[in-house]
Amino acid sequence: LGPTTARQKAVVKAFKHAWKGYKRFAWGHDHLKPISEGYEDWFGLGLSIVDSLDTIFIMGLKEEYREARDWVDKHLHFNINRDVNLFEVTIRVLGGLLSIYHFSKDEMFLTKAIDLGDRLLPCFESDSGIPFSDINLFTRKAHAPKWSPDSSTSEVTTIQLEFRDLSSASGDPKYENAADKVSRHVHKLEKLDGLVPIFINANSGQFRSYATITLGARGDSYYEYLLKQWIQTGKAIDL
């Protein structure tokens, strides 16, 4: 692994520049604010580190990888009394941990992923099985977002890859079962020429009757992940 062509080396150089700024001004925080030389914490989970681990590994940056791995090992803990978004934490943190686990075969990453997956599972404990959008990682109490009684359709249908992979890696089917139930439920709901409204209620399991239908935000990745799930399952799943 590592760059071999001029273009690849240019990409690595750009990454190292950005990483240097993050390390200097925002290390351990979610995001760097490059203009103010500050940082922002969305969830307080070191998102930039976890999200970058697989890229660092592919680029062959051994020192940066060692530092990032050490931070995850010693400082990434999920027993924080803070609400997080199921979708965002799944694609960024759970996905990041699983990705680097597959590259490195380092069991530490899988152990962290299992802990996070267990803390996210209560989101699916609604009357319908459609997950609530938010959860407190410490209390493990899930709920709708403060701004809406419903979950976003794209969010609840864009977590299946990671939960299915967590089951595959851990040998425990409970993660895949919870996420797959969502896909199968949505598959059965009435649609308009195959198009779905952008909001769905976790308790009733029904689309919001007056919700917008769009290929933009809160609807877009539903369609993307129909294809991705089909590919992930060996082109066998029917959604």
pLDDT per residue as tens, the chain (239 positions):
789 999 999 999 999 999 999 999 999 999 999 999 999 999 999 999 999 999 999 999 999 999 999 999 999 999 999 999 999 999 999 999 999 999 999 999 999 999 999 999 999 999 999 999 999 999 999 999 999 999 999 999 999 999 999 999 999 999 999 999 999 999 999 999 999 999 999 999 999 988 899 888 888 899 999 999 999 999 888 76
The size of the chain, in residues, is: 239
Count of other CB atoms within 10 angstroms of residue 108: 15
Counts for the chain of helices (H) and strands (E), in that order = 10, 7
What residue segments make up the domains of the chain, in order of their start?
1-76, 81-239
Structure-token match 């709708």, residue found:
144
Integer Cα distance of 124 and 130 in angstroms: 6
Give the global pTM.
0.94
Count of other CB atoms within 10 angstroms of residue 139: 13
Closest by CA to 157, choosing from 213, 229, 51, is 229
DSSP 195: B
With vertex at residue 94, the alpha carbon angle to CA 14 and CA 153, rounded to the nearest 5 degrees, is 100
pLDDT of residue 123: 99
Where would I find the H helices in 41-173? 47-59, 62-75, 86-89, 95-104, 107-120, 153-156, 160-170
Closest by CA to 1, choosing from 72, 54, 66, 73, is 54
CA distances from 162 to 97, 107, 157, 175 (A): 10, 17, 11, 9
pLDDT of residue 89: 98
pLDDT of residue 219: 84
Q: Are 119 and 163 in contact (CB under 8 A)?
A: no
